[in-house]
Chain A
Amino acid sequence: MPENWQRAGFGIYIHWPFCAAKCPYCDFNSHVVDSVDQSDWQTAFLSEIKRYGAELPGRVVSSVFFGGGTPSLMEPQLVGAILEAISAQWTLANDVEVTLEANPTSVEAGRFSGYRDAGVNRVSVGVQALNDTDLRALGRLHSMSEALSAIKLARDVFDRVSFDLIYARQHQSLSDWQDELHRALAMEPDHLSLYQLTIENGTAFGDRYARGLLKGLPDEDLGADLYFATQEICNAHGLPTYEVSNHAKTGQESRHNQIYWRSGDWIGIGPGAHGRITVDQQRISTETALMPSLWLESALTGIGESKRETLSAEEVFQEKMLMGLRLDEGVEVSATKDPRINHIKINELSDIGLVSLEHDRLRVTPDGRPVLNRILRDILTDG
């Protein structure tokens, strides 16, 4: 049986750490600055691509992902240069997926065809909400009508279009969300990422929440109801859940993200980007400096990595489970009695229909998915 990293493909993640404004819920490595010298960044990205090319020769690239921050603030020329450099180092798969995260303001939509010409074939648009009041509450710079036209334009320009919505928002009722989701599906996307709003420490929402000022968030029961309703509606529209928060028509899943969930190999370039690469049978994790200026300097003057660690067999296994059980397809657990997982717990959980273990494949059922964290804790903490 080939190793995960060989089966799951090889991806390249490029992090663009800048945004036009910081959203109050966001804990991504994103920064708001006056101006960015994109040619410096180009030099840094290209140098890193070259470095990895020398370290990992002969790979076939199955996916490139421009994430952020807001990559739709990058010049199409910069995106093109990066993609060119990548194809100079490695062979691109015939069906290579090249995704760019885009924010749907009109300015950014104006660059869509430029990105397509540079080689991008898939966009993931950060729509987040389908009404202006909530968009403002989320600190977004676009309006609903801008989002709708951006999607429309994207569908003309790119082969594949996905968009993101955040639900379980303040004061959002079950029927509000059902209605909103129906409107989203009416746009006939072939992929949707639907995230329940998470209150992250160190964000504006996190502070407000800690001070008791963030009102109208759903309790656990409503959160569960919202989640189940989401699964049901997407299933009925032919966009089944293939991962906890991701829904797609069959064949339209994000190949890039599947590399993460299937424990494939990817390199992470840019501030705060993580990577996992297999070298000489060893799985290595890489990290980079979080601060854009620090990363830029390190990449320009030498190596754009701040940390490199060889993962132990145990850590590799944990990641395989933590990431893999998010997927509907589950994970392969070789021997039925793998001592690293708690089989008593698996039996208990399978009796109440939260997991299934058949033909050496462990899966979390749709009923188990909303309590995945607990399932993972139960089966991995005293195995």
Chain B
Amino acid sequence: MTELSQIRNFSIVAHIDHGKSTLADRLIQSTGTVKDRDMQEQLLDSMDIERERGITIKANTVRIDYIANDGQAYVLNLIDTPGHVDFAYEVSRSMRAVEGSLLVVDATQGVEAQTLANVYQAIDADHEIVPVLNKIDLPAAEPERIAEQIEDVIGIDATDACLISAKTGIGIPDVLEAIVTRLPAPEGTRDAPLKAMLVDSWYDPYLGVVVMIRVMDGVIKKGDRIRMIATNAVYGIDKLAVLKPAMVDIAELGPGEIGVITASIKQVRDTKVGDTITHERKGTDDPLPGFAPSVPVVFCGLFPVDAADFEDLRTAIEKLSLNDASFSSEMETSAALGFGFRCGFLGLLHLEVIRDRLEREYDIELITTAPSVVYHIYMRDGTMTELHNPADMPDMTHVEHLEEPRIKATIMVPDEYLGDVLKLCQDRRGIQLDLTYAGSRAMAVYDLPLNEVVFDFYDRLKSVTKGYASFDYQMEGYRQDNLVKMSILVNDEPVDALSIMVHRDRAEQRGRAMCEKLKDLIPRHMFKIPIQAAIGGKVIARETLAALRKDVTAKCYGGDATRKRKLLDKQKAGKKKMRQFGKVEIPQSAFISALKMDS
């Protein structure tokens, strides 16, 4: 057990790509926690998808032993957090387990939207914050200017900011000293009843569910009988360990310490993040406040391309949910696409990550339908239902009104692109809440409907600002608006998987855009095909896909027979990627691409 005074717990937070994981690498390496030969870049990003995309998705904890300049031994518990807004929940709960934050800011880029979002969370969690200016090895780094910007925009003192290059290792010793001297030691009482916070849990194929805990009071030992207060479940501790970052068994954990336990827990859903863990006997009656659970905000249908894969998809989704409690799923049937699942995600990146993993780790080709948000439908009979799928929209005659989720979006952007950003927000039904300047950067705060943002807002934002804008958002509750269901008819038949909810004033424009898109996405057939958008029975947009006129190989002689046969095999495979609607084949990619807006 470690004395409280010798412990420092902190999270590393920053805007996406500002170098959190690289800084974690250097802290791990320079303290000898991991041998040089076992080191690799962004060591903690261990999932394939993290390594491939170069981003952190899951927060990771490492315990580091450090001998400080004062000659004393310290235990540092570091939590590397994800930068992407979809995983903001990981950051907020990580912060609840520690007392301080290293706020990393890329000295070539400065304060960005997630920098701000993270600072506010750190302040909310009563953290001591140490600003760290990273990437000073780059010629474009302007540490003085960025330090000023931090003071101006965020309002925290940056005179003692650490200047570092996480890549080359410059400044790392200063960071370690700052952790020890500037961050507070945790508090807690060894003799009090056990009170530990359930910070995170994940599924390990060998160990089962692993639970990460932060001990507040008391001592926890291997073999202890524990109770989780919220779920009221009782377990015996099989394993008690710390992460270095590999698991190392430990005899006990006392106040201020962070570690993991296993206890024959079957699935991640049996654990509630933020729950309080205590002893079965002589436990505390005074649970920690807990966290609000993460809620899925984006829903879409996932259908197997090959209907025969449905059972495999079911198994794959069950296995993935073992590990990721933040995504939800329920069975769905679509007239167009057959059997599949309606799944809920924290955001679009989360959706992409889950879909990628299903396709790759379980080898199932998927059709993804248009993402949708959760609407509240107030019925004339006074009841309210949640609508996760536009196809389930009840008859309007029974509906009193509809409400849609809104967000508060913060966008940071260089001056010269501000006009385009404001236009984009306006086009997406945004209401400006605030507009301020810090040097040549503007910060716009908008109230926006989530449904206008979910799909391609971020892509559009990046494209109109050449990648210079950053974006963060928070959910802001529900608001009534004039929302309608728009159906798409292909060759006069409605295609349920293409129906969307849309604001009445935007319906014509969206309908026209979708019909035009579909006209490009659906290959020509032997006959002409009308493509229509309709609200109720009323057609609001229409395009006609002309019939195919020419597709023939001009020359075909003896040597071409084999080639033609191979082509036929390829076409057979290609046909699997199509969905048949009456006499029309629609490529699966159309279900997402049809929604993309060019403006």
A195 to B554, Cβ gap below 8 A?
yes
Shortest CB distance B576–A (Å): 10
B527 to A352, Cβ gap below 8 A?
yes
B551 to A381, Cβ gap below 8 A?
no
Query: How many angstroms from the CA of A373 to the CA of B524 in the assembled complex?
Result: 13
A223 to B575, Cβ gap below 8 A?
no
1/0 contact string of B562-586 vs chain A (CB within 8 Å)? 1011001001100100000001000
Cβ-closest chain B residue relative to A285: B562
Residues of A with C-beta under 8 A to B583: 348
Query: How many angstroms from the CA of A135 to the CA of B553 in the assembled complex?
Result: 23
Query: How many angstroms from the CA of A260 to the CA of B562 in the assembled complex?
Result: 12
A322 to B559, Cβ gap below 8 A?
no
Query: How many angstroms from the CA of A352 to the CA of B525 in the assembled complex?
Result: 12
B550 to A352, Cβ gap below 8 A?
no
Shortest CB distance B558–A (Å): 4
A371 to B561, Cβ gap below 8 A?
no
A376 to B568, Cβ gap below 8 A?
yes
B551 to A322, Cβ gap below 8 A?
no
Interface size class of B (residues with CB under 8 A): 20 to 34
A349 to B565, Cβ gap below 8 A?
no
Q: A268-B559, A349-B526, A371-B526 are in contact. Are A319 and B552 (CB under 8 A)?
A: no
Cβ-closest chain A residue relative to B525: A374
Residues of B with C-beta under 8 A to A245: 554-555
B553 to A373, Cβ gap below 8 A?
yes
Query: How many angstroms from the CA of A371 to the CA of B553 in the assembled complex?
Result: 9
Query: How many angstroms from the CA of A198 to the CA of B549 in the assembled complex?
Result: 16
Query: How many angstroms from the CA of A61 to the CA of B526 in the assembled complex?
Result: 42
Task: Choose among A223, A273, A322 the residue that contacts B550 (Cβ–Cβ < 8 A).
Answer: A223
1/0 contact string of B526-540 vs chain A (CB within 8 Å)? 110000000000000
B568 to A380, Cβ gap below 8 A?
yes
1/0 contact string of A345-382 vs chain B (CB within 8 Å)? 00011001010000000000000011111101110111
A318 adjacent to chain B (CB < 8 Å):
yes
B556 adjacent to chain A (CB < 8 Å):
yes
B552 to A371, Cβ gap below 8 A?
yes
A303 adjacent to chain B (CB < 8 Å):
no
A295 adjacent to chain B (CB < 8 Å):
no
Query: How many angstroms from the CA of A97 to the CA of B559 in the assembled complex?
Result: 19
Shortest CB distance B433–A (Å): 45
A244 to B554, Cβ gap below 8 A?
yes
Q: A319-B565, A381-B575 are in contact. Are A370 and B550 (CB under 8 A)?
A: yes
Cβ-closest chain A residue relative to B557: A260
Shortest CB distance B524–A (Å): 8
Q: A198-B554, A371-B549, A371-B550 are in contact. Are A322 and B568 (CB under 8 A)?
A: yes
Interface centre among A195, A273, A371 (most CB of B within 10 A): A371
Interface centre among B552, B564, B572 (most CB of A within 10 A): B552
1/0 contact string of A320-351 vs chain B (CB within 8 Å)? 00110010000000000000000000001100
Query: How many angstroms from the CA of A89 to the CA of B113 in the assembled complex?
Result: 84
A374 to B561, Cβ gap below 8 A?
no
Cβ-closest chain A residue relative to B553: A373
A residues 228-272 with Cβ under 8 Å of B?
Answer: 244-245, 257, 259-260, 266, 268, 272
Residues of B with C-beta under 8 A to A191: none
Query: How many angstroms from the CA of A227 to the CA of B553 in the assembled complex?
Result: 12
A156 adjacent to chain B (CB < 8 Å):
no
B207 adjacent to chain A (CB < 8 Å):
no
Cβ-closest chain B residue relative to A221: B549
B559 to A369, Cβ gap below 8 A?
no
A274 adjacent to chain B (CB < 8 Å):
yes
22 A-B pairs whose Cβ atoms sit less than 8 Å apart in the complex: A195-B554, A195-B555, A220-B549, A221-B549, A223-B550, A227-B552, A245-B554, A245-B555, A259-B558, A260-B556, A268-B558, A274-B558, A274-B561, A285-B561, A287-B562, A315-B565, A326-B556, A348-B583, A352-B527, A371-B549, A373-B552, A382-B575
Closest 9 CB pairs of A and B: A224-B549, A224-B550, A195-B554, A274-B559, A372-B552, A373-B551, A260-B558, A223-B550, A322-B564
